[in-house]
Structures are given as C-alpha cells and as structure tokens.
Amino acid sequence: MPELPEVQTIVSELNEKIKYKTIKNVQVFKYKSVRPMNKKFVQSIKGRKILGVARRAKMIIINLSGDKHLLIHLKMTGQLVFRDRRGKGLSGGHPIAFQGELPTKFTRAAFEFADKSHLFFNDIRRFGWIKFADRKLYENETAKYGLEPLSKDFTFSAFKEKLKRYPNRKIKQVLMDQTLIAGVGNIYADEICFAARVLPARPTNKLTEQEIKDLFKAIPRILKLSISKKGTSADTYVTTSGAEGGMMKYLKVYGRAGEKCRRCGGAVHKIKLGGRGTHFCPICQK
C-alpha cells in the first residue's frame, strides 16, 4: 500500500483541488466501505465545507467544517479520483482502469461539490475505508499511530525510546510498526537501513549509539527525498495527475535483488523478514 511519501503526495495535490469546496451531495454504493455503515454517513457530510486535506501516518484526512473529519485509508487497492465540473479527471493511489465513466463497479462512494466537481473513492478489493469522525473519534484514530517522522516531535531521544520498547525486535520490524513510527512501510524501511549501513535483521539492542544516530538521520532524509520525487510506483501507485512517482530510480536496494549495490558493487540480496520481501547489501550493511 502507499507509504508516507505517496500519501503525502496525494494529500498535497488533492488539497489544491478540493480545499474550500462545499459538499452538495454524497452517494454510497457500498456501505461496507464507509463508517457509519448507514445513511447517517451521508446526512452527516452533506452541506459541509472542506477546510483542507492533511495526513496522519498512511491515512488521508479531509477536515470539514463543524470540527468534523473524513478519514480515508487506501489500503491495498484504493483510489481517489477528482473530476472537475468539465469532466477533467485526476486520480491518485492505485490505478484502476475505467473507460472515463464514473462511477464504476469499483466505486464505493462519491462526493459531489457545489461547483459540480466530484471526488470518487474506488476500491477493487474493499479493504480501504472512509470514516466520518467527530473530534473524539478523530483523536482516537490518530492516537493509534506513533511518531510522525517529519514532525518536530521526532527527536533523537524520542526515537531511542521507541527502540528500547522492543529490544529483541529486528530493526526493520520496529521501523514498520505504525504504533511506533508512523508512515514507514516496506520500501522505505529497506532504504533507511541501507542508508544507515545497518542490516534489517539486526536486533535493536545490538545497535551501537552511532548506528542509532545514522538511522535517526536517514528516516526523514529518505522520506523527504521521496516526497520531492512524488513517491515510488513500485506497487502500482500513481499520483493524482496519473503519473508514476519518480523515486524508483533513486532506490538503492528495494526491488534490486541480484543487481549490483550502488555503493560497493556487491550483489543486493533479498530475503523474507516478517513475511515481507527485504532487500539489503551484505557487504555494506552490518
């Protein structure tokens, strides 16, 4: 699923398109994809103004008037499609083929704005969801996630405290634990470990102080680089303009099993770690 850089790219681009629009109407085609799973979802949203689009971890947040929010998670196959009043479309997330006609059989919900533009939420496998949240639910949902690695709260001491919680866990598993550090997934965990010259399978209690510092510095650096390139399209993600993210050619190990390491020339290896494909250089990383 899209990780922090990909979600941030969608958020930034979507914010430019829908901020300050008023929701005129809402259609739900699959109530399983929305919460609450009844007509109160529609009634609660109609007439509200969009104040902006934000991100928490891998979750998209559409802030609404009246201190209410739409929380959206694309999961494995979710897609957001914006259509302006002339029918010109922008889609972000996982590309789902359609012949220009919306809604499709994969559309779970559609939002019509007062200016006749639309936002469609499509999802093939129905793992994605949209939740209408008041302040209490919003706080409960956002509190589930750990440190935001691009925020001022992401300090070296805070990072060290997260590592201490699970001293026997492998460092990659800690990096991907959303309750500890928000937004880092499989791609960027591999890239962060490579940048810090640390093997992904190293237990956290075996890391030196310098290695912890190197990891701490690598996390925001790698994520910011990817955001600047509009994310990685390794898992069919596309930006809201329909373009592939430009980070692929900057990846050092992810997706490069058997190829030469771009740092030392050795071969990049791939193993399974916690059920996930994991890429590393056994020469550069210790």
Query: What is the per-residue pLDDT across 27-77, written as a single tens digit (0 to 9) for each?
Result: 999 999 999 999 999 999 999 999 999 999 999 999 999 999 999 999 988
Q: What is the pTM for the complete model shown?
A: 0.91
14 lies in the same domain as 93: yes
Catalytic residue among 24, 213, 276, 282: 276
Asked whether the CA dihedral 7, 8, 12, 15 is positive or negative, the reply is positive
Domain that holds residue 181: 156-280
Please give the share of the chain, as a percent, with pLDDT higher than 70: 91
Report residue 281's pLDDT band, with 50, 70 and 90 as the boundaries: very high
**What integer is the mean pLDDT of 205-212?**
98
The answer to whether position 114 is within a domain reads: yes
Given this model, what pLDDT does residue 143 score? 98
Average pLDDT score over residue span 192-200: 98
CATH number of the domain that 270 lies in? 1.10.8.50
> What value does the mean pLDDT of the chain take?
92
User: Number of structural domains, the chain?
Assistant: 2
Amino acid found at 37: M
Longest Cα separation, the chain = 60
- 148 within domain boundaries: no
For the stretch 85-130, pLDDT in tens is 887 766 666 666 665 678 999 999 999 999 999 999 999 988 999 9
Q: For residue 151, is it within any domain?
A: no
pLDDT in the model for residue 171 = 98
Query: Does the residue 35 lie in any domain?
Result: yes
Alpha carbon 21 to its chain's center: 24
- Catalytic site residue 197? no
CA 87 – CA 108 distance, rounded (Å)? 19
Asked if residue 75 and residue 191 are part of one domain, the reply reads no
Structure tokens at 82: 């914006």
Average pLDDT for 124-143: 96
Domain-located, residue 149? no
Taking CA atoms, 271 is separated from 8, 145, 203, 243, 284, in Å, by 29, 27, 16, 30, 16
pLDDT of residue 238 exceeding 60: no
Residue 229 to residue 238: CA distance in whole angstroms: 12
Angle between helices 209-228 and 4-18 (to 10 degrees): 40
Q: Establish whether 191 is a catalytic residue.
A: no
Shared domain for 25 and 127, answered yes or no, is yes
3 annotated active-site: yes
Q: What value does the mean pLDDT take over residues 213-222?
A: 98
* pLDDT given for residue 266 in this prediction: 96
Active-site residue (options: 3, 6, 148, 191): 3
Could you say which of 55, 58, 108, 162 is catalytic? 58
Q: Is residue 61 part of a domain?
A: yes
Asked if the structure places residue 150 within a domain, the reply is: no
